[in-house]
Amino acid sequence: MTELALYPLLFAPIFQYRLWGGRRLADWMGTSLPGADTIGEAWVLSDRDDFPSRVAEGPLKGCTIAELMERSAGLILGKLTPQFKRFPLLLKFLDVHEMLSVQVHPSDGNLELIPEGETGKTEAWVVLEAGVESRIYTGLKTGTTAQNLRQLSKQTVDNCLASFSPRCGQGVLIEAGVVHSLGDGVLVFEVQENSDVTFRLYDWEHIDPETGRPRALQVDKALACVDLMQGSVIAVDPVIESTRPVMRERLFDNSHFRLWRLQSAAPFIVGVAEQPRILVCIEGGGNVEFGGADFGMRQGGVLLLPASLGACRFRPDRSVTLLEIAVPEFS
């Protein structure tokens, strides 16, 4: 098949009903939401069979990321092509109006718990908005046992799980095996391995309005993943890599993804030769310059820069805050 002529790719968001969600993503992303249900997630880059992202603009409008990977994986992934059969990351915005279930994800080593075609699931959050009642639970308090986790309730959660009040801008790494939850009015960006494997330990007595019953738990599978010695998990300390022409802070650097926060009012370089990069606009806006054309981004926008594009110039309108995400070569 003929390889495609690629450019900075904007994908249409895929909005997902969640009983713990809200309607804030409409204002935050500057878009309309479907129906009147509570929307908990906007999947903004998804190479998954059930919810495939489609290009929103340009000559490739309507193509799925899977179709692009099938035809031109080498142009998209560059030197990473031999490592992956599908795009390796799943990106989302989460509006967690109520509490997300207390849950855990398997690691890539928990092979007996991972369905065929899936992987383990390490993920990370960048806090975009938080209220006075918002809470993030990450990790276990000293002395928490498997039996404690089997018997979680509203009365015992705070005895077992470490937690903190989130602030806008914080980054939180949730490695596979870490017990976690968040909610009560927090909005985050999430980057994760391209996996949808989640095991619930406790669900805050939520009732599924479609069934009139509590949602199913997977306690045994969850406990098989949990590292009881994990301790508490706190927000990361960003590492400043540069200050001019762009303030560049590294928030996450692991075997699954790297993520930097970029802040500037002056033009700066994004992307790199032979590797894909993803840009997420979390404040302000501007344009990626490529091939003599401008590719605009506003708050809530996500652009995939295929590896074949190399380094590009980003020109802020006034000022901008971007997240730039990479897939490590050693993944």
Instruction: Report pLDDT for 78.
Output: 96
The CA distance from 189 to 175, in Å, is: 16
pLDDT at 4: 82
Q: Which residues contact 151 (CB under 8 A, 6 or more apart)?
A: none
Q: 9-225 and 239-326: same fold?
A: yes
Distance from C-alpha of 137 to C-alpha of 161, rounded to nearest angstrom: 6
The mean predicted confidence, pLDDT, of the chain is 96
pLDDT for residue 104 is more than 50: yes
- Class of 9-225 in CATH: mainly beta
Q: How many angstroms separate the CA atoms of 148 and 141, rounded?
A: 11
Phi (first) and psi of residue 166, to 5 degrees = -75, 150
Q: How far apart are CA 223 and CA 200, in angstroms?
A: 10
Per-residue pLDDT of 53-80, as tens digits, reads: 999 999 999 999 999 999 999 999 999 9
Q: Domain-by-domain residue ranges, the chain?
A: 9-225, 239-326
Mean pLDDT confidence for 287-300: 97
Alpha helices for 52-196 (secondary structure H) = 65-77, 146-150, 157-160
Distance CA 60, CA 46 (A): 16
d(Cα 263, Cα 284) in Å, to the nearest integer?
10
pLDDT given at position 164: 97
Domain 239-326 has CATH 2.60.120.10: yes
pLDDT for 1 equals 47
> 131-158 pLDDT, tens per residue?
999 999 999 999 999 999 999 999 999 9
Taking the C-alpha atoms of residue 58 and residue 294, their distance in angstroms, rounded to an integer, is: 12
Q: What is the per-residue pLDDT across 235-257, written as a single tens digit (0 to 9) for each?
A: 999 999 999 999 999 999 999 99
Is the pLDDT at 130 greater than 70? The verdict is yes
pTM (predicted TM-score): 0.96
Distance CA 238, CA 220 (A): 36
- For position 2, what pLDDT does the model report? 60
Give the rounded percent of residues in the chain with a pLDDT score beyond 70: 98
